Amino acid sequence: MKALFADDAYLSTCEATVTGIREDGGIELDQTCFYATSGGQPGDTGFFERADGTRIRIEGTINGATKAEIIHLPAADQPAPDIGETVTLHIDWDRRYKLMRLHTACHLLSVVCPYPITGASIAEDDARVDFDMSETIDKAEVTEKLMALVEANHPVYIEWISEEEFEANPDIVKSKNVRPPRGLGRMRLVCIGDQATVDSQPCGGTHVSETAEVGQIHIGKIEKKGRENRRFRIRFGEMPA
């Protein structure tokens, strides 16, 4: 299974061959552009187009026992494809692109608020990030700093580094928030800014390629969840007056 989204987040369609159908109806392919739920980013939805033009609606994408297994979950009452059948994959691009914009915004928020992250969850129109922090912080001020990073239009790119390289230069990972996964041989770093001057952190998700694509966002809410936990909500659009 080739996870094409890891190298090209903008790939909204591709051809693939059906390699397996699971007992629960989940579909496995030789390659896919459908992102599987992970790291707070929900898996892709969309449809598979068959040779005769009919469609198989996909309502979610998840990992199997390992990250190497990606399972496409058809909606109820969809026809099952045949093993060996070639299908054309189509992601619900509007939804995925919003997820990419908000996911990238979460990285920018971790630059503006350099506190340990205890949780994150991204939806189509709202992303939440939980920080281990006790300080009170003004949402207008955070919004302003976020938008400065968006408007600076920093490049966002992926860099793969070996674990040895990381051991030798632990500062390569600028965010102190994230503990890089070990034992995989190499790490996927998401870098922001020329030479990763703004940020770099391990992440397997999909992101926009320059920060201006995030567009207008604001902090909708900062909730106090316990003495040392603050929950930030990032939303699209201007901050309501």
CB of 148 to Zn ion, least distance (A): 20
Phi, psi angle pair for 178, to nearest 5°:
-110, 125
Which residues here bind Zn ion, judged by CB under 5 A? 190, 203, 205
Q: Which is nearer to Zn ion, 79 or 114 (CB)?
A: 114
31-32/2-3 β-pairing: parallel
User: Which of 234, 191, 205 has its CA nearest to residue 44?
Assistant: 205
Three-class SS state of 109:
helix
CB of 205 to Zn ion, least distance (A): 4
Q: Which is nearer to Zn ion, 99 or 203 (CB)?
A: 203
CB of 203 to Zn ion, least distance (A): 3
- What letter would DSSP give residue 75? P
User: Which of 98, 109, 99 has its CA nearest to residue 199?
Assistant: 109
Comparing every residue's Cβ against Zn ion, the nearest one is 203
Instruction: Report the C-alpha gap between 56 and 190 in whole angstroms.
Output: 33
Q: Which is nearer to Zn ion, 21 or 178 (CB)?
A: 178
Q: Which is nearer to Zn ion, 158 or 239 (CB)?
A: 158
Contact call for residues 46 and 5 (beta carbons, < 8 A): no
CB of 133 to Zn ion, least distance (A): 20
